Amino acid sequence: MEAGVGVEESRSAAAPGGLSGHEAARRLKDIGPNALPAQPRTPVWRRVLQQLRDPLIVVLLVAAALTIATGDFRDAAVVLFVITVNTVVGVVQEVRAEEAVAALSAMSAPVARVVRDGAERSVAAAEVVPGDLVLLAEGDIAPADGDVLDAAALLLDESSLTGESVPVEKAPGSELSRGTVSAGTVVVRGHGRVVVTATGTRSALGRIASLLGTAPGLTPLQRRLVGFGRTLAVVTVALCAVVLALGLIRGQPVELMIVAAISLAVAAVPESLPAVVTLALALGARRMAERHAIVRRLPAVETLGSITVLATDKTGTLTEGRMAAEQLWTPRGEATVTGTGYAPEGRVLRAGQAVTANGAPDLAALVSAALLCNDAALEPPSDGRTEWQALGDPTEAALLAAGARMGLDRAALDRELPRVDEVPFEPGRKRMTTVHHRPDGGLHIVCKGAPESMLRPEVLADGPDLLARAATRAEELARGGHRVLALATRDLEARSERPETWETRLSLLGLIGILDPPRGTSAATIAACEQAGIAPVLITGDHPLTARALAERLGIASGGGTVTTGEQMRQGTAGELTGMRVFARTTPEQKLDIVQAWRGAGHVVAMTGDGVNDGPALRRADIGVAMGKRGTEVARQAADLVLADDNLATVVSAVEEGRRVYANVRRFLLYALAGGTAEILVMLLGPFLGMPLPLLPAQILWINLLTHGLPGVALGAEPVDPEVMHHPPRPPEESVLGAGLWPRILVMGAFVTAVTLVAGVWARETGRPWQSMVFLVLGATQLGVAIGSRARPGSLANPFLLVAVAAALCLQAAGVYLPPLQALLGTEPLPLTDLAIAAGLSGLGHVVMRLQRWLCPEHPPGTAPADRVGAVSRTGPMKWLSR
């Protein structure tokens, strides 16, 4: 307990007039404010250093330093410009994302009503201390943990902490869970007084938030690029050393060969890769923002494209987070209520036909009783709010919505049968009874409650057959995930009976099945995940029957209907966690265990959630996705992606964006590394074909600038493949150059090399300026490969790439024909026929690239979603390239 303030001391200090102002100030000074520790903002200099730690950036920094050492300031400036752009874009995106998320913060109660010095006053929630006497009323958010001193029909929504859809009745002196309130929970009905026992980090909300200490690790793409950068750096240095040695052996000047080796290193390293990755991620983030999703960390977009498991909570994520009366049962038949939310739009269907109160008197009697025995209210849209809102118990609000959909007027019922007395709901009785005055002077009694407390001979006067039928149907509805209420009634001639007899000799009207309905997009989202080879996993704190019913509705496989519970996990009888898809009655710590089990099995896990209880799992997952409207502040701070409109379908769009990013990164790597391979091979093999120094350092850097510059970056903006969501995710352990990309790079690099060397040998044998021919053909052929790399050839889906390639081709030709560039690059003009030959060879590069894509596609025809998560099947021509 905080600073020596115990529970008993808090109780005594709270009665009867609360704390004194002086004592409250002392405790606030000793204990600290009632607030969670703020997330420290990352300084800009640290963000910049994080960007510069990328292995490829390190290689470029070394190359820039060496280039400066040789006096080639112009080329060093080009490399440093690329580094600067990449760093600025990354830092700006991260800062903007954090500011957008900060604007969503609305979890903590800004003020609280307390009793101090014997008077009620309003204070900032951060100033509440242990021992304070807090007053709670409908709509308030509990500012701290506390014990209930007294309560009148006090009902709290604890879904943000426990995941439970149904609010909990609070009363003093009852069992621990019902005699206490927790910070961040919402009062949905009634009022009460609470003595504060824990604030800030010592509250239930604070203890869960403390589990968020684990720092997020690298994303899959970051891990892949780290390994790729290290390998590429070693290979590049080794090959450049070979070129340097061969040049020196042939008697080339030392300074020339050093500059040539450095230039070749710059050419071999795809320095545009960080810019391509950043552009692709930024475009994905922008598209996500247009769909009301805020990316807190830029690499999170790509991570979603790599996920193999989507772990999601239930309340408010897969479901609407609000109750709805869906099934009606009377001894004469059944009916279904349609409509969503609390709006009056919807119908009551019996045998597929819409019915009204006049056409179905048994249903009208059942629903009318539910309207009379009811303390909730519905508030229509107002003040910019577009949806109807429940005031009071959401379960009772769902009954009001059902009455409106049947055409019943609650106000008219209240006027006809005004309430004159009641027996409030009590957890032990599980019933609520209201007494109404009839126009003829008699009394009308309505009782509603749980079936197990209502369908009993001592309560109902109906025969055993009817009670058995009702009990059977109630059990069936419960198995379907419904919360079932039974309603009964009887009339009295006058107030001739004692209140304790009101709940006897009643006549059963029927049953009402209520549930938290799935969101309209949830089933489609789950189906899209299954089609894309992503395993959906449901993790909730709700009842196992509710979890199973929802899983069946949405098509989440649960291992033959098996639901794993938190108790089974605690006892060690749950078995292999990665073998189950539905988990119920889980604690925040157990959610962490489930996420970690999937990650430990080699999967990339995304976790969606909105409550405080989801925060630790959101942080531990590879990517956390929080709800922006319903979500708590703890969940938003733990997440990588915040859905501002709470639409789970946006997650599928994010997966598509992530796969587009990854595909474009691989597309660029194929293009850039094939070109870099060709440049190295030309420099290595050219001397053996009679070309002592095939390219000058300036020529290498010029080709590299044109091919890896705008055309390379434009490849990162390629549109998504229409079939991308019909294929399984790539295996998490797969390298960024895996799935056959290395062989494809070598094939394309060898082709460009062969075309360039053939053109150079032909030019040398015919007396043409062969070095200029090699320079022109090598650059033009690479640009042809860029056009052949398009995701949607023959379309204008990415006009930036077409413009960039056209501009690069013009500049490549200018390097041969413009006198200033001739002097800079050491080239000589070529006949126009030679220019036409180079253009033709460029077109050949396009054709060969398209042919290779057809022979060895990213996702071969016939590839279907994997039978198991993360599996990838490969078929088709040249399948050896995929190994």
8 A C-beta contact, residue 671 and residue 710: no
Dist. CA 572–CA 12, nearest whole Å: 42
Give me the DSSP letters along 118-158: TEEEEEEGGG--TT-EEEEETT-B--SEEEEEEEEEEEEE-
Torsion of CA 628, 633, 634, 637, to 10 degrees: 70
From the list 72, 75, 147, 313, the catalytic residue is 313
- Alpha carbon distance, N-terminus to C-terminus of the chain: 60
409 is catalytic: no
Which segments of 507-581 are extended strands (E)?
A: 507-515, 535-539, 564-565
8 A C-beta contact, residue 122 and residue 22: no
Nearest of 678, 673, 726, 713 to residue 858 by alpha carbon:
726
Torsion of CA 581, 583, 587, 592, to 10 degrees: -10
Q: One-letter amino acid identity for 415?
A: R
Dist. CA 639–CA 627, nearest whole Å: 9
Q: One-letter amino acid identity for 644?
A: A
8 A C-beta contact, residue 62 and residue 79: no
Give me the DSSP letters along 283-323: HHHHHHHHTTEEESSTTHHHHHHH-SEEEE-STTTTB-SS-
Nearest of 338, 306, 261, 739 to residue 517 by alpha carbon:
338
Nearest of 393, 488, 492 to residue 436 by alpha carbon:
492
8 A C-beta contact, residue 197 and residue 2: no
DSSP letter at 798 equals: -
Dist. CA 728–CA 706, nearest whole Å: 36
In whole angstroms, how far apart are CA 196 and each of 2, 35, 209? Answer: 11, 14, 19
DSSP letter at 36 equals: P
8 A C-beta contact, residue 266 and residue 237: no
Nearest of 746, 772, 771, 765 to residue 686 by alpha carbon:
771
Q: How many helices (H) and strands (E) does the chain have?
A: 30, 26
3-class state of residue 465 by DSSP: helix
Treating both helix axes as pointing N-terminal to C-terminal, what angle do 544-554 and 464-479 enclose, rounded to 10 degrees? 60
User: Tokens in use for 284?
Assistant: 């994905």
User: Tokens in use for 831?
Assistant: 């006949």
Dist. CA 319–CA 515, nearest whole Å: 10
For 104, phi and psi rounded to 5 degrees?
Answer: -85, -5
Place of tokens 């440093």: 80
Dist. CA 501–CA 101, nearest whole Å: 56
In whole angstroms, how far apart are CA 260 and each of 229, 353, 708, 756? Answer: 22, 83, 18, 18
8 A C-beta contact, residue 844 and residue 783: no
**H or E element that contains 61:** helix 55-69
The Cβ of residue 119 has, within 10 Å, a number of other Cβ atoms equal to 10
User: Tokens in use for 742?
Assistant: 């290395």
Torsion of CA 422, 423, 425, 428, to 10 degrees: -170
Give the angle subtended at the CA of 458 by the CAs of 432 and 421, to the nearest 5°: 30
**H or E element that contains 856:** none
8 A C-beta contact, residue 537 and residue 583: yes
Active site residues: 313
